């Protein structure tokens, strides 16, 4: 059973095939209106969303399929205490593909253990967001003609920004990429991402200032400070509004630099930037729909599993990350992976006890 949990799991040739398919859909959408006829997508969004939720729904509808889900997670039986395992067992009996967003890091990987159909991670807490990366890569490739050889600025909350983590994983599949990681020190990329950058021999420079590096960039990826992820409200107050891209700052940027943003934006790009031809964040959101169509055309047409493989039963959470799915679903197996030679939680990449 194929799932999309972490972009790092996707071989480069599979991404190339998805991009080719997304381009074909963009160029001749009428040829794809029946690709998912009779297929059903479950849309499980336990966190707010505009782009990911609606673009997945419209993607499935444009392919001739149908969609079900809840508008409010409190109207599902999760609110009565149903486990993730039981929810997924049920939903994967009704649907051909499950798209899920949760505040719990590693939840999509956990769901995939029990699902009879493909699971797509539509964002798991501050961890990963692989289909946003599909939107990002589609935008870069369509507008710049390549994703190799780029200098990329990632700016904002790089600690909690799941889109940033997934994009770094993706860019490891391309040649000669250089990152400028622009963030306050307390919102720098998590250790597991720094280890990933080092293990993949990726060039990166961590800086706190945007203006000094902007002239070097081929693409600037702005992100918001993720208020909902802060345990300490004072930490948010210290960091909110720290980076604001304005027309004046753009004057020093390359003529063809792309300004991207996964959205939603709060205050980190002034509205007058929207009319600059380099600002492509609304196109980026639309490209995301076509990329998701390519993904659904593949995953929703896979044969379902009659039985899922047996899964070892855990006895207690072993992960120290308070936002890891193992904290609320203690039956999960204690899956371990290596990051930089150190054992880590295979669900959320967090440190183990």
Residues that bind ligand CP (CB under 6 A): 49-53, 123, 132, 262-264
- Asked about 138 being catalytic, the answer comes back as no
Would you say 160 or 329 has its CB closer to ligand CP? 160
Would you say 87 or 132 has its CB closer to ligand CP? 132
- Asked about 51 being catalytic, the answer comes back as yes
Q: Active-site residue among 39, 62, 101, 169?
A: 101
Q: What length does the chain have?
A: 353
Smallest separation, CB 282 to ligand CP (Å): 12
Q: Are strands 178-182 and 203-207 parallel, antiparallel or unpaired?
A: parallel
Smallest separation, CB 171 to ligand CP (Å): 18
Smallest separation, CB 293 to ligand CP (Å): 16
DSSP 23-88: HHHHH-GGGGTTTTTT-EEEEEESS--SHHHHHHHHHHHHTT-EEEE-SSGGGSGGGGT--HHHHH
Q: Which residue has the tokens 């205050």?
A: 267
Q: Are 44 and 69 in contact (CB under 8 A)?
A: yes
- Asked about 142 being catalytic, the answer comes back as no
Would you say 70 or 331 has its CB closer to ligand CP? 70
Smallest separation, CB 125 to ligand CP (Å): 12
Smallest separation, CB 122 to ligand CP (Å): 7
Q: What tokens does 32 get?
A: 């794809």
Backbone angles phi, psi at 205, to 5 degrees: -130, 125
Smallest separation, CB 313 to ligand CP (Å): 33
Q: Are 187 and 208 in contact (CB under 8 A)?
A: no
- Asked about 101 being catalytic, the answer comes back as yes
DSSP H/E element including 137: helix 130-144
Cβ count within 10 A of residue 49: 16
Please report the beta strands in the chain, taking only residues with DSSP state E, as ranges in sequence order. Answer: 40-45, 66-69, 97-102, 119-124, 151-155, 178-182, 203-207, 219-222, 258-260, 336-339, 342-345
Q: How far apart are CA 193 and CA 205, in angstroms?
A: 13
Q: Active-site residue among 3, 62, 129, 173?
A: 129
Would you say 195 or 222 has its CB closer to ligand CP? 222
CA angle 339–345–347, rounded 5-degree value: 110
Would you say 51 or 229 has its CB closer to ligand CP? 51
Q: Active-site residue among 3, 21, 39, 52?
A: 52
State whether residue 97 is helix, strand or coil: strand
Q: Active-site residue among 21, 51, 292, 323?
A: 51
Would you say 118 or 288 has its CB closer to ligand CP? 288
Q: What tokens does 343 get?
A: 């054992």
Q: What tokens does 294 get?
A: 């390519």
295 CB contacts (<8 Å, ≥6 apart)?
Answer: 4, 18, 59, 120, 131, 134
- Asked about 265 being catalytic, the answer comes back as no
Smallest separation, CB 4 to ligand CP (Å): 14
Q: What tokens does 303 get?
A: 């044969």
Residues annotated as catalytic (active site), given as ranges = 51-52, 80, 101, 129
């Amino acid at each position: 059973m194929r799932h999309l949990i972490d972009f790092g799991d996707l071989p480069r040739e599979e991404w190339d095939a998805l991009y080719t398919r997304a381009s074909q859909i963009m160029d001749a959408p009428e040829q794809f209106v029946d690709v998912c006829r009779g297929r059903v997508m479950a849309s499980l969004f336990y966190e707010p969303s505009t782009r990911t939720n609606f673009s997945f729904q419209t993607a499935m509808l444009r392919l001739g399929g149908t969609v079900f889900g809840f508008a409010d997670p409190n109207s599902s039986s999760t609110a009565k205490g149903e486990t993730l395992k039981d929810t997924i067992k049920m939903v994967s009996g009704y649907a051909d593909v499950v798209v899920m967003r949760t505040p719990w890091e590693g939840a999509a990987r956990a769901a995939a253990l029990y699902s009879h159909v493909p699971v797509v991670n539509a964002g798991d807490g501050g961890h990963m967001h692989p289909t946003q990366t599909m939107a990002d890569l589609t935008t870069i490739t369509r507008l710049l003609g390549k994703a190799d050889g780029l200098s990329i600025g990632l700016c904002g909350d790089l600690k909690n920004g799941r889109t940033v983590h997934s994009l770094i994983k993706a860019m490891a599949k391309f040649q000669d990429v250089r990152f400028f990681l622009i963030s306050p020190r307390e919102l720098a990329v998590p250790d597991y991402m720094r280890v990933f950058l080092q293990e993949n021999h990726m060039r990166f420079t961590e800086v706190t200032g945007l203006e000094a590096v902007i002239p070097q960039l081929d693409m600037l990826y702005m992100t918001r400070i993720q208020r909902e992820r802060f345990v300490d409200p004072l930490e948010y107050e210290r960091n909110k509004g720290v980076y604001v891209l304005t027309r004046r700052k753009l004057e020093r940027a390359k003529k063809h630099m792309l300004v991207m943003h996964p959205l939603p934006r709060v205050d980190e790009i002034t509205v007058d930037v929207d009319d600059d031809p380099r600002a492509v964040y609304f196109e980026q959101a639309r490209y995301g729909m076509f990329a998701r169509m390519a993904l659904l055309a593949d995953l929703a047409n896979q044969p379902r599993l009659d039985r899922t493989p047996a899964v070892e039963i855990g006895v207690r959470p072993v992960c120290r990350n308070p936002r890891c799915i193992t904290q609320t679903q203690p039956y999960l197996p204690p899956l371990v992976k290596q990051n930089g030679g150190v054992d880590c939680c295979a669900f959320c990449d967090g440190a183990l006890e």
